[in-house]
Amino acid sequence: MKLLLHMCCGPCSCYPVKTLRAQGIEPTGFFFNPNIHPYKEWKHRLDTAKEFAAKVGMEIITDEHYALHEFVRRAIPAESQPNGRCTMCYTWRLRETARYAKEHGYDAFTSTLFYSIYQQHDLMRRTAERFAVAYGVAFRYEDFRPGWQEGIDISKELDLYRQPYCGCIFSEEERYSKEYLKRRRKENRAKKRARMEREQQSHA
């Protein structure tokens, strides 16, 4: 099977590539991640994806256009919908992977996003399935999450850079800003209070 493997980064590729090879599939890596910012971080992850591919002897295709402006233009309107920004982000990356796979004669596509225990697995699966139909190319689904720790171990053995946040500048703020965390805690407390009040009223 000629499989195009969307790579979100080097470390997340370790376990999926090992697993696919054990099944007799030699994937081609596809780095397309307009969601990674700022520039130095994107470049570092791109270089690490290439480093990984070279270390394990895998073919890799890379999109080397840094797309901060376009990402922000798409993300800001999406923010008004629940989960909107990440939905837009998965859609963009998985659609491009399906499109590239179809146009370049691959039998199927998948993504290392299905390795991450932090991503919205079911939403991504539905999105990939939708584009498989739209572009007429198979989506090869596999839940790589059981190999989470093994993937980390391999990435450390290969001495790959391991990033500390998801990718976009919004997720960077969510990871480091004390102000953001304070706001989130406050919002969660308010939601909890509202939920308890509703429950009390329904029992009254």
Q: How many residues bind ligand SF4 (CB under 6 A)?
A: 9
Q: Name which position in 9, 14, 89, 160 contacts ligand SF4 (CB under 6 A).
A: 89
DSSP assignment string, 38-68? SHHHHHHHHHHHHHHHHHHT--EEE-----H
Is 128 near ligand SF4 (CB under 6 A)? no
Is 53 near ligand SF4 (CB under 6 A)? no
Is 34 near ligand SF4 (CB under 6 A)? no
Is 85 near ligand SF4 (CB under 6 A)? yes
Residue 168: CB minimum distance to ligand SF4, A: 3
How far, in Å, CA of 31 to CA of 91, rounded? 15
Residues 62 and 50 sit within 8 Å (Cβ to Cβ): yes
Residue placing its CB nearer to ligand SF4 in the complex, 19 or 111: 111
Rounded-to-10 torsion of CA 150, 154, 157, 160: -130
Residue 9: CB minimum distance to ligand SF4, A: 11
Is 111 near ligand SF4 (CB under 6 A)? no
Is 97 near ligand SF4 (CB under 6 A)? no
| Cα maximum dimension of the chain | 66
How far, in Å, CA of 43 to CA of 27, rounded? 23
Is 154 near ligand SF4 (CB under 6 A)? no
Residue 187: CB minimum distance to ligand SF4, A: 17
Is 94 near ligand SF4 (CB under 6 A)? no
End-to-end CA distance of the chain: 62
Is 19 near ligand SF4 (CB under 6 A)? no
Residues 144 and 114 sit within 8 Å (Cβ to Cβ): yes
How far, in Å, CA of 201 to CA of 204, rounded? 5
Chain residues in the site for ligand SF4 (CB under 6 A)? 35, 85-86, 89, 166-168, 170-171
